[in-house]
Chain A
Amino acid sequence: DAKTTQPTSMDCAEGRAANLPCNHSTISGNEYVYWYRQIHSQGPQYIIHGLKNNETNEMASLIITEDRKSSTLILPHATLRDTAVYYCIVRVTQGNKLVFGAGTILRVKS
């Protein structure tokens, strides 16, 4: 699975959009981009995933660049409860295990 690079930490004001970047310059054509988050003392929670097109669900939006070498997770209106570690993972379509990096610590502040 391709390696991902994320900033170590980010701050965001409550109510503002949180934009979390991820670089995956060695991504292959059959690899999806997945985002999970982990709130303190809980298991990881699935957020969203995509292959080429931008995706949106009730939690977030995922913007993937045309060359697929990077992506951005957008939380449109961050709340204090969105404070967590956010993991960007690239994964083959037939793969099973998730390979987690260190993730980005997002701190939402009032």
Chain B
Amino acid sequence: AQSVTQPDIHITVSEGASLELRCNYSYGATPYLFWYVQSPGQGLQLLLKYFSGDTLVQGIKGFEAEFKRSQSSFNLRKPSVHWSDAAEYFCAVGGRSGGGADGLTFGKGTHLIIQP
């Protein structure tokens, strides 16, 4: 069964500092990997996704993520955070099986706090 681990429940970063959010996954086939951001009471916004090809993926809002198959990781990074980045971040894994598409399995999320 697939699973996603986000080991950090909360992360506090100073505004302007760099950020890395960790994500490890377990998936039986070729994974499709995603990072989403959620503001309180809102739906999910896609930051970036990885299906294949270049393992360094660029997303919106200055975020990037690197797929490392050997480590089963897909960590999210941003060189300089802004106060507006404070939110809940979810890593998710999905894929295709039997000709269909799997629903996504989400990690528990990382709550990002930005200090002034």
Is B a genuine binding partner of A? no
Using a CB–CB distance below 8 Å, which chain A residues touch chain B? none
Using a CB–CB distance below 8 Å, which chain B residues touch chain A? none
